[in-house]
Amino acid sequence: MNTSSLPLAGIRVVEFTHMVMGPTCGMVLADLGAEVIKVEPVEGDRTRHLLGAGAGFFPMFNRNKKSIAIDLRSPRGLEVAIRLASSADVVAQNFKPGVMAKYGLDYAALSRLNERLVYVNHTGFLPGPYEHRTALDEVVQMMGGLAYMTGRPGDPLRAGTSVNDIMGGMFGAIGAMAALMQRAQTGRGQEVDSALFENNVFLVGQHMMQYAVTGEPAAPMPDRISSWAVYDVFSVKDGGQIFLAAVSDAQWQTFCDAMGYADLKADPRYATNNDRVRARPTLLPLLRERLAAHTADALAAVFERHGLPFAPIRRPEELFDDPHLNATGGLADVTLPDGERAGATARTTLLPLRLDGRRMGVRMDPPRLGQHTPELLAGLGYTAEQVAALHAARAVA
């Protein structure tokens, strides 16, 4: 893909980030065409070598980026970092409050060198009583109502992916793009703040509003009072499971016709959606008994043929073979930079959008540590001799 044709072509982003939230912001901007430079410690971002659930962090969130390794504790390395950051249109960071100021890499210091700079902070909390707490995705899910809503009553459960880290990075990218648009009018940059806790509260805002409107607290999702009668996971023949729904009176009638349930269609107890919701305690067991005679594939075929909502219950690893994802270009190859499988090819997911009919693809594999250090230093005006001296002093790698 021609980078110059992408929306953020010509925008330089320097990110001092790690884990998921900050790197997600950089990945979004990079996918949209920005030159994104990841500043790593000389020993490398520690997410390069995480195990278990963290094993996919680095290759997932650091494509389309350049890597420069700098020792910020070295005066010569810090000088490089400040020069690099002051050359940027956008700086993004997700360290604890006060860390960037300690190095003179905060907005107050860098904006004196570049008044056009947009500076994005990714934090646990916006400024306030909680701002100095250490936040993780799980922490804010617990205190922000999401774990309560996801788990069974009395058993709070975090969502099965890094929802706040990822969405917090996305909101950081949205804020950066908004600030760049405003800069085009004013000529000045600004500071942007995106926070995990506030992101989580935004996610559960619909449940807060439900309470404000009805006066009734929202029940955890496994124990909720559904707005629709048929809107559930059904265990069916041969041990299969499938999600089935009929969320309108027309869909209910279609469902009954498709499955041959003329008796249910004619039953006045099930005439309207609200009637069916009130009758769920008796209707659902009846449906479970009848649907158990069919396989999940057979039900999927019926529902697809009649335009009814349904979903097979898939595991993440099964999505690599999803025909829709593959047909629409939703997956792309990257070369893994680290670990036992370094150099191997893996499939990664792309941004879930198209611009002018195109998916935002992979232009650059996740970088090796310091892969772009020489070219970036040269671009900042360092001579070959100066670059060699910085390497010799371990100020960069």
Domains of the chain, earliest start first = 3-203+328-392 (3.40.50.10540), 226-312 (3.30.1540.10)
User: Has residue 250 got a pLDDT over 60?
Assistant: yes
- Is pLDDT of 319 > 80? yes
Position 65 pLDDT exceeds 60: yes
Tokens of 318: 């099964």
| Phi, psi dihedral angles at 384 (to 5 degrees) | -60, -40
Q: How confident is the model at residue 4 (pLDDT cuts 50, 70, 90)?
A: confident
Predicted pLDDT at 2? 64
Q: Tell me the per-residue pLDDT of 46-58, one tens digit each, with 9 for 90 and over.
A: 999 999 999 999 9
> pLDDT confidence of 223, banded at 50, 70, 90?
confident
Cβ atoms of 53 and 201 within 8 Å: the answer is no
pLDDT in tens, 106-127: 999 999 999 999 999 999 999 9
**Res. 1: pLDDT tops 70:** no
Assess contact for 220 and 141: CB atoms under 8 A: no
Of the residues 165, 223, 263, 322, only one is catalytic, namely 165
Predicted pLDDT of residue 245: 96
Structure-block tokens of residue 329: 């270009």
- Whether 341 shows a pLDDT value over 90: the answer reads yes
Asked about 165 being catalytic, the answer comes back as yes
In one-letter notation, the amino acid at residue 233 is V
Q: Model confidence at 227, in pLDDT bands (50, 70, 90)?
A: confident
Compute the mean pLDDT over every residue in the chain, rounded to the nearest whole number.
Answer: 96
Helix (H) or strand (E) holding 107: helix 107-113
**How far apart are the C-alpha atoms of 91 and 140, rounded to whole Å?**
25
Please say if the pLDDT value at position 222 is more than 90: no
CA distances from 202 to 196, 199, 386 (A): 10, 5, 49
Whole-number Cα distances in Å, 325 to 51, 90, 350: 27, 32, 10
